[in-house]
């Protein structure tokens, strides 16, 4: 099955929220979705994100720095949905992608700002992961022609 819905998740550094959203949509949405994530100032993935995703059996194809949203734009990449997962101020900086049918903004706290022990920060990243999962499941259920039965992952 060829992917017919192309989705780009965007956040400032593409180090946490957008990477988790990408992994979750790949798992929950299945082959109908081509999923990419990018940042305005891309960095390597936050190790807590890797740990939080591993807790539900997911991994990232790469933890290295990914292309910026501007590189994707210049390369002529086209997306049906561009979804900002940071605050709206940062989301508004996203370039207009040709062919975008919808831009969405889902506000989530930045795991880079979390403080406390490793366990406390991981617990907060897991909270963000679960909020992202719920938002993606709700969004998938609202799309026409989408199987509304989400694929499940084990929660920790």
> Is 151 part of a structural domain of the chain?
no
Do 18 and 40 meet the contact criterion of CB atoms below 8 Å apart? no
> What's the rounded mean pLDDT across residues 90-110?
75
> Is 155 part of a structural domain of the chain?
no
Domain assignment of residue 101, given as a range: 5-142
Do 28 and 140 meet the contact criterion of CB atoms below 8 Å apart? yes
Beta bridge partners of 7: 35, 81
pLDDT (tens digit, 9 = 90+) per residue, 127-143?
999 999 999 999 999 99
d(CA 90, CA 68): 14
What is the DSSP secondary-structure string of 66-96? PPBHHHHHHTT---SEEEE-S-HHHHTTSPP
CATH number of the domain that residue 17 is part of: 3.40.50.2300
d(CA 56, CA 111): 18
> Is 149 part of a structural domain of the chain?
no
pTM listed for this prediction: 0.87
What pLDDT sits at residue 154? 44
> What's the rounded mean pLDDT across residues 143-154?
56
> Is 63 part of a structural domain of the chain?
yes
What pLDDT sits at residue 92? 65
Give me the number of domains the chain comprises: 1
What is the chain's alpha carbon radius of gyration, rounded to the nearest angstrom? 15
Structure-block tokens of residue 35: 């999923």
Question: How high does pLDDT run on average in the chain?
Answer: 87
> Is 147 part of a structural domain of the chain?
no
Is residue 33 over pLDDT 90?
yes
pLDDT (tens digit, 9 = 90+) per residue, 44-81?
999 999 999 999 999 998 888 888 988 998 998 889 99
The better pLDDT of the pair 98, 83 is held by 83
> Is 29 part of a structural domain of the chain?
yes
**Residue 48, class by beta-carbon neighbours within 10 Å (0-12 exposed, 13-18 middle, 19+ buried)?**
buried
């Amino acid at each position: 099955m060829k992917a017919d819905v192309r989705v780009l998740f965007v956040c400032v550094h593409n180090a946490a929220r957008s990477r988790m959203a990408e992994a979750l949509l790949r798992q929950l949405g299945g082959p109908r979705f081509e999923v990419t994530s990018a940042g305005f100032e891309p960095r390597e993935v936050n190790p807590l994100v890797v740990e939080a995703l591993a807790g539900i059996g997911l991994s990232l194809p790469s933890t290295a720095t990914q292309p910026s949203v501007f590189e994707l734009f210049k390369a002529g990449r086209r997306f049906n949905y561009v979804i900002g997962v940071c605050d709206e101020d940062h989301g508004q900086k996203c370039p207009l992608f040709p062919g975008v049918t919808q831009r969405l903004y889902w506000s989530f706290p930045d795991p880079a700002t979390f403080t406390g022990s490793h366990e406390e920060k991981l617990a907060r990243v897991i909270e963000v992961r679960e909020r992202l999962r719920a938002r993606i499941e709700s969004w998938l259920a609202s799309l026409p022609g989408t199987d509304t039965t989400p694929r499940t992952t084990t929660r920790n």
